Homo-oligomer: A and B are copies of this chain.
Amino acid sequence: MSVLTNDAYREFRRDLHRHPEPAWCEFYTTARIVEELRERDLTELHVGRDALSTDDRLNVPDDDELAEWERQARDDGADPDIVDDLSGGYTGCVAVVERGDGPVVGLRVDIDALPILEAEADDHVPAAEGFRSEREGFMHACGHDVHATIGLGVLDAVLDSEFDGTLKVFFQPGEEQVAGGKPMAESGHLDDVEYLYAVHIGLDHPSGEVVCGVEGFLAVRHFLAEFAGEPAHAGARPEQGRNTVQAMAAAVQNLYAIPRHADGPTRVNAGLVGGGTATNIIPEESYIEGEVRGATTELADYMSDHADRVLGSAAEMHDCEVDVSTLGEAPSATSDAALADVIGEVAGGVDGVTNIVESDDLGGSEDATFLMQAVQDNGGLACYVGVGTDHPGGHHTRTFDVVEDDVAVGIDVLAGAIRRVAETRP
């Protein structure tokens, strides 16, 4: 009793693609998902505040920005009652289907978009076929529109099958800023989940390829360091300034010079910096928006502690203050082999799958790891699955796109694996 045909899934994905929204601004996106979910026979549906540990939200935009995105969602026809529930940046939802006494299985999909201007060329399918982003400067350039659709499709497939257990689908906001994983992991809805899958489309794997268990998640912390000093006329009274650009530069030089660690890879980047007001004024304010990573959570903590030290002493060096806040974070995690094996078994029987890869390294960060770790800490199993697609542009580029037929592959593989897990309790 599938609610949606393949055409309907495609239309749904294209609708989301036309309305890309960044972290905590997924008003239209969440509303559309909830509208669809309300048509299903769900046991529970948690929306907005009910889906999150609200205090754990990181890097929430200011009220004006939230209000502007909310207004656009309403203008574009999002259900106003649902948007009311999301108001203030409480986006995302959790859908629950309980069918018998079998185990609780979770699926996590993310739903946010990126601040990238989408390509307009004719060879970019969304542009050619009329579903290019309508929010100039923002784009679903990492396939989260597809992930949300897979979430819906898996729910439908499970509803339409003999499934003995409970399925929870987590539609998570704010992954791109590693800001939404923790509030969803801490929401309480994950506490009884015994098996958790997360899924990603693409990842440089071609159409037909499935990666059973992705590894190599770098633990990460995004930080914002805001330096405050004192302005002065650079010609007449240079000594009266407290120079934040000097502090920032000293910090940058020494952040990259944090000692390498013998236990494994670490990373640091001062990705976005700025400061000052005019050539002839000693710069009063500066900032670094940066990140540290590590192959393990311990290594990321090592980098984070050193970064805090460098930032604090660089400010002190130039008699400035610095305020360091965390914009986003995610731990490291590993995919459990038992769940990956299930993917391998199921994928072999799915139409369109031509190659099964046991494992591959992500080489980046993902806050699905918060959810994976929470389940594993409770004694459960977790696994991150990759579904290949021929994507013409790389992830996070203006020309990223997917082969829409691969959405069905994703739905079939995940739905099949979830049913198998409920049966076999691996």
Chain A residues within CB distance 8 Å of chain B: 218, 220, 222, 233-239, 241, 243, 245-246, 248-250, 252-254, 256-257, 259-263, 265-283, 286, 289-291, 293, 302, 309-310, 312-314, 316-319, 327, 363-365
Contact of B274 with A274 in the complex, beta carbons under 8 Å: yes
The smallest C-beta distance from A192 to any residue of chain B, in angstroms, reads 33
A256 CB, nearest partner CB in chain B, Å: 4
Q: Closest B-chain residue to A283, C-beta based?
A: B271
Assess A273 versus B289: contact at CB under 8 Å? Given A262-B237, A267-B238, A314-B313: no
Decide if A363 touches B235 in the complex (CB within 8 Å). yes
In the complex, what residues of B have CB within 8 A of residue A272's CB? Answer: 275-279, 283
Closest to A265 in B: B260
In angstroms, Cα B270 to Cα A56, docked, is 38
Give A365's nearest chain B residue, CB to CB: B235
Residues of B with C-beta under 8 A to A310: 317
Is B280 within 8 A of A269, CB to CB?
Answer: yes
Which residues of the other chain, B, contact A245 by a CB distance below 8 angstroms? 252, 270-271, 273
A282 contacts across to B, CB distance below 8 A = 259, 269, 271
Which of A276, A280, A281: most chain B CB closer than 10 A?
Answer: A280
Cα-based distance from A263 to B238 in the complex (angstroms) = 10
User: Which B residues touch A253, using CB under 8 A?
Assistant: 246, 249-250, 253-254, 257
Chain B residues near A278: list those with CB within 8 A: 271-272
Residues of B with C-beta under 8 A to A260: 238-239, 260, 265-268
Q: For the complex formed, measure the closest distance between the CB of A331 and the CB atoms of chain B, giving whole angstroms.
A: 14
Min Cβ gap A308→B in Å is 11
26 A/B residue pairs, CB under 8 Å, sorted by A: A235-B293, A236-B262, A237-B363, A239-B259, A239-B262, A239-B263, A245-B270, A246-B252, A246-B257, A248-B249, A249-B270, A250-B254, A254-B317, A257-B257, A265-B265, A270-B276, A271-B280, A271-B281, A271-B282, A272-B275, A273-B283, A279-B289, A310-B317, A313-B314, A313-B317, A316-B316
Contacts of A236 in B (CB 8 A): 262, 363-364
Please pick, from B241, B276, B281, the residue contacting A273 in the complex, using a CB distance under 8 A: B276
Complex: A272 Cα to B275 Cα, angstroms: 6
Residues of B within 8 A of A259 (CB): 238-239, 241, 243, 256, 282
Q: A253-B254, A271-B276, A276-B289 provided; 20 other pairs, C-beta below 8 A?
A: A234-B267, A234-B293, A238-B259, A239-B302, A241-B259, A245-B273, A246-B253, A249-B250, A250-B254, A254-B257, A260-B265, A262-B363, A269-B280, A269-B281, A269-B282, A269-B283, A273-B273, A273-B274, A279-B290, A280-B291
Residue of B at shortest CB range from A275? B273
Q: How far is the CB of A225 from chain B (nearest CB, A)?
A: 11
When distances are taken between beta carbons in the complex, the residues of chain B under 8 Å from A279 are 222, 269, 271-272, 289-291, 327
* Smallest CB-CB A-B distances: 4 pairs: A256-B257, A249-B252, A234-B269, A313-B317
A364-B313 in contact given A272-B277, A276-B272, A289-B279 (Cβ < 8 Å): no
